[in-house]
Amino acid sequence: MRFTVWTAGASWRAGAPFFVAATLLVVVVLGLTFGLTSFQAHRTADASIRRGLLERRRGVESFLAGRTRAFAGISRMSAQVPQFRERLLQRSRGDVLDQAEAYRHLLGASWVLVTNERGLLVARTDYPAEFDLDLSRGALIARALSGEQADGPWLDDGAQRLSLAVAIPLRASPDETPQGVLVTAYEVGDTLAQEIKQATGSDVVFFALDTLDRPHVVASTLPREEVGAVLAADTAALRRLQPDSAAVELSAQVAGDHLVGLAGPIRSAGGSVYGGFVLYCSRDAELAMFPALRRSTVVALALGIGLALALARRQPRSPRTTDSPGLPSSHPGAGP
């Protein structure tokens, strides 16, 4: 006699290899998809960061140029006032220093200096004890003595300060030979860096170059020690700022964050690079959404596989017919 026995694991064992193969195939396909997606996401993020930094670099250049134009416009108008000009040219050095200091406060400048017609220093507000220094060999003063308005960086090696200065010829009319030069400047410091960060949304680092073209940080919205070491390591890259079309890209690890930077030069009135600035953007922040998406997808895949396994083990049982020993079997068509 035959008995029908329902087995729970027979169909599972029969289908298990196919299920495992299908699961592995899904995992492989998802792995390849994640790899390609990750590669494309990184390329897209890098391109987006590069475009953003280029736009922000132009913004920084416009910001600095706008402030320089404002200083130049006010100084040019002031130099056209006879009483102001005479106070800078025809009085004693002490009187010139007092007038220069009053003008510095009025303009909101970091410092002001005045030279005579030969380019010799008459007075300088941040170094009041200095005078008679020959400044005529610098491009900024030399151009102003030739009758042209000039602007550019002014590097103070002793104090390791970088300023952006405007030089205005002191003369009664455009046809006359300059009787002296008025220089007004604003310092490139941390306050300026913070203003630029608020305007652009990016961290910025200003640096000056020494006589060996080594950079040192003069202003920064990032920790100076860490970013200073990064710039020192990228000295060779920063030398590429000399060409007009240079777009020097840098990278840094600051406080565990991967930053991508784009450098811009600060040129003297003669065209030489005295320093520059670097705008930094967080690459990790740009890619922040992709790891979260990857984690959620992996969790969903694991839950899907677990659910499939549970459903496979709970599928309907398969019947199996067996003969019982010791009892006669019954066949269709057999007689009594």
Q: Report which of 243, 281, 276, 238 is spatially closest to residue 259, judged by C-alpha positions.
A: 281
Give the helix ranges, DSSP H, for the chain: 10-79, 82-89, 93-107, 139-145, 190-200, 224-233, 235-238, 283-286, 289-313
Confidence of residue 174 (pLDDT cuts 50, 70, 90): confident
**pLDDT, position 17:** 62
Q: Tokens 């800078």 map to which residue?
A: 88
Average pLDDT, rounded, for the chain:
79
CA distances from 48 to 38, 283, 289 (A): 15, 10, 14
Q: Is the pLDDT higher at 335 or at 23? A: 23
For β-strands 2-7 and 318-323, DSSP reports them as antiparallel
Q: Which residues contact 301 (CB under 8 A, 6 or more apart)?
A: 26, 27, 30
Q: Report which of 166, 141, 153, 139 is spatially closest to residue 79, judged by C-alpha positions.
A: 166
Q: Is the pLDDT higher at 300 or at 256? A: 256
Asked which of 36-45, 124-133, 138-147 is least confident by mean pLDDT, the reply is 36-45
Question: Which tokens hold the place of 111?
Answer: 């410092």
Q: Is the pLDDT higher at 191 or at 36? A: 191
Most confident of 16-20, 77-81, 228-232, 259-263: 77-81
Most confident of 55-64, 108-117, 195-204, 206-215: 108-117
CB 9 within 8 A of CB 315: no
CB 222 within 8 A of CB 216: no
CB 263 within 8 A of CB 241: yes
The predicted-structure confidence for 279-300, as pLDDT tens digits, reads as follows 888 766 555 555 655 666 666 5
Give the mean pLDDT of 171-198: 93
**pLDDT, position 163:** 94
The answer, as to whether pTM is greater than 0.85, is no
The predicted-structure confidence for 151-173, as pLDDT tens digits, reads as follows 999 988 777 889 999 999 999 88
Kindly state the DSSP code that residue 39 receives in the 8-state scheme. Answer: H
CB atoms under 10 Å from CB of 123, counted, come to 23
**pLDDT, position 311:** 54
Three-class secondary structure of residue 30 per DSSP: helix
